[in-house]
Structure 1
Amino acid sequence: MTGESTGHTNPLEVLRRRRRVLAEALRSRLWPLPAVAVLLAVLAGIGVPELDTAVDDHMPPVVAGYLFGGGADAAREVLGAIAGSLITVTSLTFSLTLVTLQLASSQYSPRLLRTFAADRVVQRTLALFLSTFIYALTVLRTVRNDTGAGTSEFVPPLAVTLAYALTVASVVALVLFLGHLVRQIRIETVLDQVRTDTCATAAHILPRATADSGPAQPLPEPPPHAHLVDAAGSGFVIEIDEHAVLTAAVHADALVRIDRPVGSSLVAGTPIARCWPAHPQHPLAGETLDRLAEQIRDAVRTGSERTTAQDVGFGLRQLTDVVVRALSPGINDPTTAVHGLVACTAVLVELLPARLGPYTVCDSDEQPRVMIARPTFADLLDLVCTQPRIYGAADPEVLEALLSMLKLLGWKAVTDSHRVAIGDQLARLRDCLGEHEDVVRRALERTADDVDSSLTHRWHSRSRLH
């Protein structure tokens, strides 16, 4: 068993990771930003008329000339028109957003819904529309006519003018939103967004390999009597709190190996980890073992869907889903499949310098205490290549794109394990070439030979435009 060491965990780094997970959970939902905007609109609708009461008598004539100058009835008409039109436009925006989500789910992949829901432009546009609507309604309740029974007329010119300004901003936002929506449903934009998010996740959670970052002292192989820790619930692993696991292992004087990486699916009651005593003369038993198992379960957090917070493989899963969906007989769009493979190639090239695979976490004495599973480069490459190879075996363009991917990865490979993984995928692709006609087969075999050359750092440029 081998792995890379992360040293003892840094509490600040743990806090940053937790904040990243929380931010990702909020970012991927439509409601938080509009909800905050609505609350601020209510407060503004109450506060700005109060400000009007305080400053109306002292307003400079130059400023007052630019403010609303109508009476109470006119103010009601303006605010009512604003409220009525904004709720209609908001309904239209929600409808367009739902149509976009449906298109993304059926045309590309259901896994992309999270990416569309996290679109900041959509969230900010909805927030502006809803806040303008609520603000206009809140201000409307303060407008009063002179009843002649002790109630004088009150028209908040500053508040009505602000409602007008928000309406103008909403009209501009609607135009920008429509243009943004048209751009967002383009497959090139979708692929670029997923690629960018995946590379950002890798940069945050994966350390870079350096010349002096050799393998750390590995965790010993678990003994046959190692205790199994079962999952508390079903779902996907979305986060592993390595600091909590390390703290629990140190307090119990135990070694822990978590076998399920972030992104894997769990079923309640099935094993997720193994633990055993660091010193055989002090066996794990009783309350100590129960507490350790409970702390490990709490540290392995699950959810109903995968996220990009700590899961590099999820981005590649999304891109591969787009490729596979494009190759389905109902869609039959190999060009989109090729573009998806190009995006996968860009992500995999970014991952080559990173330290993938299982890694160890050490205590303050630099002794390995915890090993946590993480996908290797071979696992991620297999994720990208297997399904497109199976479903695109009859399409020369798809095979050409897969071979071109391996060629680029072979050229950029930095370790022998990378080259072994690339060579294994190349051998599988060669098995698919015999089904094509001679001219196509020979062209693909030349590209396959170029992959072999790239693995020995020799470059031959025969790539074609797709």
Structure 2
Amino acid sequence: MRADGRGGWSVLRDAVRTQLWPIPAIGIGLAVLAGVLLPRLDARIDDNLPPAVTDYLFGGGADAARAVLEAVAGSLITVTSLTFSLTVVTLQLASSQFSPRLLRTFSSDRFVQITLGVFLGTFAYALTVLRTVRTAADDQELFVPQIAVTVAFGLAVASVFALVIFLAHLAKEIRVETMLATVHRDATGTLRRILSDRDSAGPAPGVPDIPASSEVVAAPSSGFLVWIDEPALVRVARQADAVLTITAPPGSSLIEGVPIGACWPRRGGTFDAGSLRELQDGIAAAIHTGPERTAAQDVAFGLRQLTDVTVKALSPGINDPTTAIHALGHASALLTELVDRDLGPRILGDDDGPIRVVLHRPGFADLLDLAIAQPRRYGADDPAVLGRLFQLLAEVAWQATDQDQRRSIAEQLGRCRVTTDAQPFDDAERAQLSRLADQVIQALAGRWPHSA
């Protein structure tokens, strides 16, 4: 399999998408440009405009134009402050009520970014145009940019509508159902971009064993593994005629100097000191860490977010099992999507065939355990949560495509049953949970249970 050079672009796109400032900054720049150019256009054509046009343009004098622009600028900076305050409150709510990992989802909300861009752009435009309005008392020629002032009025009206729509949007976004759907959508996009279909992946080449004489590949810096520059790894491995494996998948927490893989000469033997140092420097340059996990190459990040929401909802301080059950539903949908994806190690090689790089990724068993282990532990005393876990296993079992996946599901079923047996449920609850567990067995056998 050839290296994918889109990783760096994905990281850059994710970094820009999850920041609040880029779109507002672009809006301010365009507004200042328009505030400079439109008065110049006014100076050229205002005297030649027909009455049919000027009837719809600003018709006041210089003092009235200044009053309008000052009112627009003053009100918009106040509205912008309110918008920022509401956004910060929403971020705090998402962090404390659901999960700190959801902050990236909120900050990437394009509607919020555009709204802030409209407000700040209108403010910057009004100030820029204000500097061009001149009265006779200024010992200069009277100048009132009719078109520019009319545009400022239009932007102010548009900002009022934007504020109303923003408030409605914010009320929708803080609902847990909307947040879970957003996380689900982003996670699905990530796995579809990163993971190929199982049928289209072709037969996987064998993963080479790490020889005892291999050299350690250490983490170049501490932090979360954000992305791996695959073409760069293949290039340095080819130059050294080496094979290297990275055992830490994107999303892993790295500690500088701690091993994250190994490398060895492809034709046997050992590296000389200069070649090894050059190879390790090249590998370090291709391993990028950051202060937080991102969705650029991390296929487990979406499930981590959903699991965090589930566990937070089950905490004594929140005590909201309904939200936990909803989050488990989204986790089930992601897992059923993953069963048809190639989750094996990513093997990269030269065009002519030799294997150069092996990148380990979380397997189906790891992802299934991520979605179930903590909810099972923290929701052990709630039969509704355990029941939803059994349903999740049945749904994933119905979609499972090979024996390894079914074996992982059967193992999780056994652990859920042990947890159920350890709880002081009444007979009716035990009977219901037993029926749900039996449905998992039927789904594993290819028979969908029709009874509740």
TM bin (shorter chain): over 0.9
| Distance across 1 between alignment mates of 2:292 and 2:127 | 38
Identify the residue that residue 226 of structure 2 maps to in structure 1: 238
**Is 1:159 aligned to residue 148 of structure 2?**
yes
Q: 1:126 aligns with which of 116, 130, 151?
A: 116
Query: Once structures 1 and 2 are overlaid, which stretch shifts more, 454-463 or 65-74?
Result: 454-463
Q: Report matched runs for 1:293-308 at 5 Å.
A: 293-308=280-295
| Distance across 2 between alignment mates of 1:302 and 1:249 | 20
Identify the residue that residue 78 of structure 1 maps to in structure 2: 68
AA matched with 1:86: L
Give 1:57 shift: 2.0
AA matched with 2:239: H
Give 1:407 shift: 0.1
| Distance across 2 between alignment mates of 1:320 and 1:161 | 52
Partner of 2:136: helix, strand, or coil? coil
| Distance across 1 between alignment mates of 2:404 and 2:231 | 29
Report the TM-score, using the length of structure 1 for normalisation.
Answer: 0.95
**Is 1:223 aligned to residue 217 of structure 2?**
no
Identify the residue that residue 439 of structure 1 maps to in structure 2: 428
Identify the residue that residue 27 of structure 2 maps to in structure 1: 37
Identify the residue that residue 127 of structure 2 maps to in structure 1: 137
Identify the residue that residue 186 of structure 1 maps to in structure 2: 175
Q: Report matched runs for 1:421-436 at 5 Å.
A: 421-434=408-421, 435=423, 436=425
| Distance across 2 between alignment mates of 1:232 and 1:362 | 23
Query: 2:240 touches 2:279 (CA, 8 Å); kept in 1?
Result: yes
Query: 2:7 touches 2:227 (CA, 8 Å); kept in 1?
Result: no
Identify the residue that residue 453 of structure 1 maps to in structure 2: 442
Q: 2:254 aligns with which of 261, 266, 276?
A: 266
Query: 1:8 touches 1:366 (CA, 8 Å); kept in 2?
Result: no
Give 1:357 shift: 2.8
Query: 2:69 touches 2:152 (CA, 8 Å); kept in 1?
Result: yes
Give 1:152 shift: 1.3
**Is 1:390 aligned to residue 384 of structure 2?**
no
Identify the residue that residue 4 of structure 1 maps to in structure 2: none
Q: Report matched runs for 1:308-319 at 5 Å.
A: 308-319=295-306
Partner of 2:137: helix, strand, or coil? coil
Give 1:368 shift: 1.4
Q: 1:292 aligns with which of 279, 282, 285?
A: 279
Give 1:300 shift: 1.2
Identify the residue that residue 362 of structure 2 maps to in structure 1: 375
CA-based RMSD: 1.2
**Is 1:65 aligned to residue 55 of structure 2?**
yes
| Distance across 1 between alignment mates of 2:435 and 2:200 | 35
1:427-456 CA-partner distances (Å, limit 9, x unpaired): 000101222222211111111011011001
Identify the residue that residue 3 of structure 1 maps to in structure 2: none
Partner of 1:256: helix, strand, or coil? strand
Q: Percent identity?
A: 52
Distance 1:211 1:296, change over 3 A: closer
1:207-257 CA-partner distances (Å, limit 9, x unpaired): 1011782221x2321111211121121100110111111111111000000
Partner of 1:122: helix, strand, or coil? helix
Distance 1:153 1:19, change over 3 A: same
Q: 2:17 aligns with which of 1, 10, 27?
A: 27
Give 1:17 shift: 3.0
**Is 1:354 aligned to residue 341 of structure 2?**
yes
Give 1:65 shift: 1.1
Partner of 2:318: helix, strand, or coil? coil
| Distance across 2 between alignment mates of 1:264 and 1:402 | 26
| Distance across 2 between alignment mates of 1:246 and 1:370 | 6
Query: Once structures 1 and 2 are overlaid, which stretch shifts more, 220-229 or 340-349?
Result: 220-229
Give 1:457 shift: 0.3
Partner of 1:312: helix, strand, or coil? coil
Unaligned segments of structure 1, at least 5 residues: 1-6
**Is 1:344 aligned to residue 338 of structure 2?**
no
AA matched with 1:271: P
Query: 1:236 touches 1:304 (CA, 8 Å); kept in 2?
Result: yes
**Is 1:87 aligned to residue 81 of structure 2?**
no
Partner of 1:353: helix, strand, or coil? coil
* Number of corresponding residues: 450
| Distance across 1 between alignment mates of 2:10 and 2:264 | 32
| Distance across 1 between alignment mates of 2:287 and 2:409 | 32
Identify the residue that residue 37 of structure 2 maps to in structure 1: 47
Q: 1:250 aligns with which of 217, 224, 238?
A: 238
Query: Once structures 1 and 2 are overlaid, which stretch shifts more, 104-113 or 54-63?
Result: 54-63
Query: 2:226 touches 2:293 (CA, 8 Å); kept in 1?
Result: yes
AA matched with 2:230: E
| Distance across 2 between alignment mates of 1:358 and 1:289 | 24
Q: 1:200 aligns with which of 189, 197, 202?
A: 189
Unaligned segments of structure 2, at least 5 residues: none
Identify the residue that residue 2 of structure 2 maps to in structure 1: 8
| Distance across 2 between alignment mates of 1:299 and 1:275 | 14
